[in-house]
Amino acid sequence: MERLIKTAGLNETGGIILGSYPDFTTAEVSEILGPPSDSRAGRYWFERGIKGLKSILNAAWNQNQYYLGEWHFHPNGTVEPSPQDFQQMKKISKSEKYYCPEPLMIIIAGNFQNYILGVYITDRKLNKTFQLAEYTEEVK
């Protein structure tokens, strides 16, 4: 993600999170994908595209790796999810297409040298998003 946010500069960016569930209480992240080529971004917004994701997700599924959620970058912003972030995660948790009733969301705020990472989970049954962790990193 550091490489991707460095490349993005002052624009938002993002992608999807792949991984597995070794038990019923843990999601294990195995891969972070960058934005598909049809993604669009600006200083204060990001729309993740879908080009190529179906084949990537099918290949991952065959290796017992699954869609776990989304990540994106708020340049020089906060890790607090926006109203659109909350809405997107609730929509994903209820969608039959994603097979992900409790999607993760990772938000990175700051810049590639000094950033905060927030981790959230949305619970479909409670229709609510919860913060799981916050992590600060200064790259030297």
Indicate which residues carry an active-site annotation: 12
Burial of 82 (0-12, 13-18, 19+ CB in 10 A): middle
What is the DSSP secondary structure assignment for residue 97, as one 8-state letter? T
Residues 18 and 41: their CA atoms lie apart, in Å, by 22
What is the spatial distance between Cα 2 and Cα 100, in angstroms, rounded to a whole number?
26
